[in-house]
Structure 1
Amino acid sequence: MAESHPIKTTVEVRHCLSADLDGESVDQHLYRSMIGSLMYLTASRPDIMFAVLLCTRFQANPKLSHLSAVKRILRYLKYKPKLGLWFPKNDLFNLVAYSDSDYGGCNLDRKSTSGGCQFLSNCLVSWQCKKQSTSEAEYIVAALCCFQVRWIHQQMLDYGITLHEIPILCDNTTIPQHSKTKHIEIKHHFNRDCVLKKHIQIVEVKTDKQTADIFTKAFDSARFAQLMEMLGMINF
């Protein structure tokens, strides 16, 4: 990969990664070691989070097409080797969260990919990306984001900082309320209780301002660069 050409994005916009059962198999141990290294890197590089999650789905039986997708991430890292998060000094302690989900984006089982991120003093301090199976994806990812926000708030209380009505920004604020939502686990209704107690508030945000989009789907180079800027990532 030392002589490979760098690339500006981690995933093709219209990627078609699938089980590829008829494809050429590759060394399973090599593939898993590459995935493990990239997962370690996601602790400081949220920009590769979605791409790495996408590639982890094929560790049981990796094919040549999956290895090519992993190598694309490495080519992107070669393009941006010194990209990192910037934490400027700030006396403000405002906590803001973003949550988002695609709908049935996984080619394997049509499950959804959810993502969320939390900012403290306009600095990214936490981010999540996972696959889930539900038709109410936006509602559940908001609840998962709420769990993280409440945990961060509890840590702030140890320093004597109290926050009220912490905003969680979603591009879909509709709360499902019909008989077919009985399958939703009780824990996912946690955000309703927090709204009633004024711990959080669900705020609608336009799609082009939804920072959590970077954790749920692939984008072209222009939009991808814009989202990285919104995360507060810069070249050092």
Structure 2
Amino acid sequence: MGPQVDTVPPETRLPSKVDVVVVGGGIIGTSTALALAESGVSVALCEKGHVAGEQSSRNWGWVRKARRDPRELPLIVESLRLWERLNERVGAETGFRTTGILFAAETPEEVAYYEAWLEHARPFQIDARMITSGEIDRLIPGGGSIFKTALYCASDGRAEPQKAAPAVALAARRAGATILTDCAVRGLETTGGRVTAAITERGRIGCQSVVVAGGAWSRRFLADLGLRLPQLKVRASVMRTAPLEGPPT
């Protein structure tokens, strides 16, 4: 088990009307609420459990350009620019650090894949490059004896999944957003083909727009509204350790 997710105290007041309702209290939903509130848009975020209760606290925390699909690169370049100042912006600790991220190459096929990726990434002037065993050894003592080459991007970073979304949610609340936990959105009300309200388990919230940021649940939520969202679900594993002395074994 990793650290406990930081708590976002619940709000009891349900607004009767806002400009935008955000469905989901992960990093996307909380960031959306923050950006809207900072722009003077009235917004209510509705989370069925607690903030960062699912995917946003159960991930690697990586914020990376390395090995991204080239179609995502313009977005992640801008994302990293925002992350670099996010602690200052939200006035709290998200755990973000520019640590660099390394993908070791264990086979000739992986080396070829990373080299081809670098060619695709070249137009974006990203500082990713292939490094040798000597450089690997400086980054991971002893790692150079295991891996002969790797893809490395020094400007990539990582955040603390248990801290990031809660910190953003609290900043959004200070900026004027309503952050509602234990408040699932069950459906939407429409008039003349336009959204007019979100129907939650705690009542109706009138609105002009809805942002669906429900992660793995978005497809099911939208299917109930007759909308199809193509979504790929991937299950991965991650191990977290305390700091270790010496090389990996």
TM-score, normalised via structure 1 length: 0.26
Max radius of gyration: which structure?
2
Instruction: Using CA pairs under 8 Å that are at least 6 residues apart, name the structure with larger relative contact order, 1 or 2.
Output: 2
TM-score, normalised via structure 2 length: 0.25
